[in-house]
Structure 1
Amino acid sequence: MPYPDKLLAEDEDIVRHLHPHWLTLFWPVVRLLLIVGAASFGTAMIPAGRQQGILRMLVLAVALVLLLTLVVVPLLRWRTTHYVVTTHRLLFREGILTRRGRDVGLSRITDVSFRQTLWERIVRSGTLTIESAGDSGATVLRQIPDSDGVQQLLNVMIEEDADRRAQESVSHHEEYYGGRTAPQHYL
């Protein structure tokens, strides 16, 4: 079962599954091109001689370490960061080796706001701040694609969740009392 389907309850559906904005991969790609170019140039500039093989291996080893730390890790970080809006909650997961996550029920969300710089408005990205009832404080999600659209979606989902819960409460009440009116001291 693919992620995040394995985290869902029976009556829960995914509404939107996001990763950080694709521009978070811009600098790792630039670094990839620079490192490959510099390593190619560096190995080509090593003069012929007894040490040429060792020096080329040294340049390639340095390039490999730089590629792992400056390109592969940010790419994996982007790929393993998930923002999932479902019909019941907001799920947030991140981490490559060590995972961190948070689930916030839609019924517990008290406020959703977004912030965008001029550049973020141009590229349709931004920061979402989600306030929820409880002691854990606000959840800040950065580099969200279409942050204003996601904020509006969350507000709609919160309303739909409240309506669903109210409908379930009425259904449960009718089921419990068999269509009869509850005694006055219960109302």
Structure 2
Amino acid sequence: MAIPDHHLTEGERRVRSFHPHWRTLAGPFAALVLIAAASGAGLWLVPGSFEYAGYARIAICAVALALLTVWSFAPYLRWKNTGYVLTTHRLTISSGVLNKATDEIPMARITTVGSGQTLIERLLGSGTLTVESAGERGPLVLRDIPRVQEVRGELFRLLEDASDGEPDTDAARR
């Protein structure tokens, strides 16, 4: 997903790879349904006897396609091209559709890990993960992380292993 296996260092193993939670696509999906319904109704309501009916239908389709691109297709591409990879040595966050940005935080530099969930996030199994590293950037806030408590637990295990100098083989196999 975010980093290919051939970019892993010797002895480094991928523990977990994931995208943001699917709930981030709820708005774009609702927009897709509403735009499709509205454009279908608009096409149906254009009278056949109207002199410029063909042009009106083309205009409705063009507007619908533009709205679908902005409100549904682009958010889907952003979701699909945002990935998180947790390995035995680092946390990698990559995002971008046309331009790609990748942030990597080595396990040895992570100082604090926190998580938070609203009621809806608890029901849907997502949350916000906050990672602080020994750097000048400040805390990194990752929103809409699926199974945030599991990710936080794995991150803690990997941090303990990094401080011990011995990777946990059970955590690396998951």
What is the TM-score with the length of structure 2 in the denominator? 0.90
AA of the residue aligned to 1:4 = I
- Structure 2 match to 1:16: 16
Give the secondary structure class of the aligned counterpart of 2:51.
Answer: coil
User: Residues of 2 paired with 1:51 and 1:163: CA distance?
Assistant: 75
AA of the residue aligned to 2:3 = P
Cα-to-partner distance string for 1:126-179 (whole Å, 9 max, x where unaligned): 10110111112111100000111111110001111222369xxxxxxxxxxxxx
Which 4+ runs in 1 deviate beyond 3 A?
A: none
- Structure 2 match to 1:30: 30
- Structure 1 match to 2:3: 4
Moved more, 82-91 or 4-13: 4-13
Cα-to-partner distance string for 1:47-93 (whole Å, 9 max, x where unaligned): 11320110000000000000000000110010000111001000001
Structure 1 runs not aligned, ≥5 long = 167-187
Larger Rg: 1
Q: Report the CA distance between 1:9 and its aligned residue.
A: 1.5
- Structure 2 match to 1:96: 97
Structure 2 runs not aligned, ≥5 long = 168-174
Q: How does 1:9-158 map to 2 (within 5 A)?
A: 9-48=9-48, 49-158=50-159
User: Residues of 1 paired with 2:68 and 2:150: CA distance?
Assistant: 35
- RMSD of aligned Cα (Å): 1.5
User: Residues of 2 paired with 1:112 and 1:9: CA distance?
Assistant: 24
Give the secondary structure class of the aligned counterpart of 2:137.
Answer: coil
**Matched-pair identity in %:** 41
What is the TM-score with the length of structure 1 in the denominator? 0.84
Cα-to-partner distance string for 1:91-133 (whole Å, 9 max, x where unaligned): 0011112222210000110010001111111111110110111
